[in-house]
Amino acid sequence: MSISKRELEFNKNEDAMRLKISELKRKLAKVYLGGGKKRIEKLHSEGKLTARERINLLADKGAEQLEIGALAGDGMYEEYGGCPSGGVVVVITYVAGRQCIIVANDATVKAGAWFPITGKKNLRAQEIAIENNLPIIYLVDSAGVFLPMQDEIFPDKEHFGRIFRNNAVMSSMGIIQIAAIMGSCVAGGAYLPIMSDESLIVNKTGTIFLAGSYLVKAAIGEDIDNETLGGATTHTEISGVCDYKVESDEECIQTIRDLMDKIGSFEKAGFNREEPKEPKRSPKEIYGILPDARNKPYEMKEIIECLVDDSKFTEYKKNYGKSIICAYARIDGWSVGIVANQRAIVKNAKGEVQFGGVIYNDAADKAARFIMNCNQKKIPLVFMQDVTGFMVGSKSEHNGIIKDGAKMVNAMSNSVVPKFTVIVGNSYGAGNYAMCGKAYDPRLIVGWPTANIAVMSGDAAAKVLLQIEVASLKKKGEKITPEREKELYDTIKNRYNNQTSPYYAASRLWIDAIIDPVETRKVISMGIEMANHKPIEKRYNVGVIQT
């Protein structure tokens, strides 16, 4: 039996995607070891569990988990030995049947010290809790600020101190915060657990104080050991700083589960949900549909069919503005409005060719109207990005592409319904913005292993930067041979391509996670469930918008 060209292409794409997913799994497996096996063994010898062991014990058995920022810090701080996962593990999961977010310091990574990315990741966890009225549980085991980098983590607005400001704000909002001191908790970091609603401390391994015994000796000459200074007995029987004294990590975790089990119900946002249905097309078909080369066209509607319930969606303005697909559907039972870049080459009503991944005037106009409709109907929005930007050239400019693009950005920016962003492929330039990039407050933003995030493609950027470099060298009197020009081009392109990688983005928390495409339904479903904890309080208003 002969194999068709389409089948060959499908198989080739599938193989390429599976290689990318294998690479992702290898990276994550290394990250999950934190500071390494020897440090894990040392922690165990002290009677302590690792951050991930604590989370797995705390979460309901068999419950879904969504890790935020697992690849934070990837390739960063190498001069200090690295900082796997930013030295802190953040997971959205379920405890005693209630969805919550858990933040656990990883004491195997520089004793849980805070690097700049650690602070950014903690703030992201608190942001998720604030946006979604999600209970947050802190499992504290940290040596405090990483002193060699204190200038990048201590004094600024989005630095260490913002964590405690958020503790206070969250408390005023009624967001539940529970903190367990399961190791060191020193200096300014001591405020985090005590500004939470309730705090626990593990006997003999948990300590909390503004200054440890060495600093106390240096400052005021007092000789005292850390346990007497700030151990569990001190803070539950003398100072009253902590609420619960427990004898082990296991007892601590069970006590937290008991506390979570007693929490009452709160008002919901009321997003529509029906009985979930699996897609008729397997999500694994995405592997073969999505081309390995980022410049090849494909049919985005086929991707959507692999993600939505029963593979069924209702397309809005199907024959207008074809470079963006707008559709109503359900994902794991939740009603959603999907805004997706069409990557197939299509023709508009005038028979003009529209290239895939480019946003044209009519598509921007359509998307803006669809976003407004979803806000009117209280339907969460899902953006699926594979975009090279807005259409350029005199025709687009004369037709007002800036105005139409601004209309779309305005409608999206002011949305009051929750937004979720999946970066399927390219995420370039203003297309990143219009399709709800990180700057536009998506409740969750994730990328597939095929994602690329940058101002423009590596090839385009290299050509622009090469022209500048060549002109500069010529001014200095240097002769540029074709071989030298190619060498410069390759150097620039390789450097730029590294910065467009999804791993570069994930390490800096531009995206919350890199995920296997088959996990997309889970991510969106858990995201809408958490967003449903917070009622919509604002009226949708786009302000001044040109029509």
Angle subtended at Cα 31 by Cα 29 and Cα 32, rounded to the nearest 5 degrees: 65
- For 429, phi then psi, to 5°, come to 55, -140
pLDDT score for 1: 44
The CB-side HSE value for 377 (13 A sphere, CA atoms) comes to: 14
Most confident option among 191-195, 272-276, 463-467: 272-276
Distance between CA atoms of residues 276 and 440, nearest Å = 29
Cα–Cα nearest to 136, from 165, 104, 191, 176: 176
Pair 57, 113: CB distance under 8 Å: no
Does the pLDDT value for residue 2 go beyond 70?
no
Q: Is pLDDT at 545 greater than 80 in this prediction?
A: no
Q: At what angle do helices 458-475 and 482-500 cross, to 10 degrees?
A: 140
Is residue 266 a contact partner of residue 133, using CB atoms and an 8 Å limit? yes
- 280 has a pLDDT exceeding 70: yes
What is the predicted pLDDT for the residue at 269? Answer: 96
| Exposure string for 113-136, b = 16+ CB within 10 A, e = fewer | bbbbbbbbbbbbbbebbbbbbbbb
Question: If we measure between CA atoms, which residue out of 434, 445, 430, 431 comes closest to residue 505?
Answer: 445
Q: Measuring CA to CA, which residue among 444, 414, 438, 449 is closest to residue 545?
A: 414
Judge contact between 383 and 422, C-beta under 8 A.
Answer: yes
Mean of pLDDT values over 263-278? 96
Question: Per mean pLDDT, which range of 279-283, 347-351, 364-368, 447-451 is the poorest?
Answer: 347-351
Residue 60 pLDDT > 80, yes or no?
Answer: yes
Q: What is the pLDDT of residues 238-252, one digit of tens each?
A: 999 999 999 999 999
Residue 234's pLDDT is 95
Of 279, 276, 280, 301, the closest CA to residue 290 belongs to: 301
CA distance 258 to 122: 25
Q: Look up the pTM and report it.
A: 0.94
Average confidence score pLDDT of the chain: 93
The helix (H) or strand (E) run that includes residue 381 is strand 381-387
SS3 200: strand
Quick one: pLDDT at residue 271? 98
Q: Which of 140-154, 317-331, 415-429 has the lowest mean pLDDT?
A: 140-154
Q: What is the pLDDT of residues 457-508, one digit of tens each?
A: 777 777 877 788 778 877 888 877 888 778 878 888 888 888 899 999 999 9
Model confidence at 452, pLDDT cuts 50, 70, 90, reads very high
Q: Which tokens sit at 123?
A: 């703030």
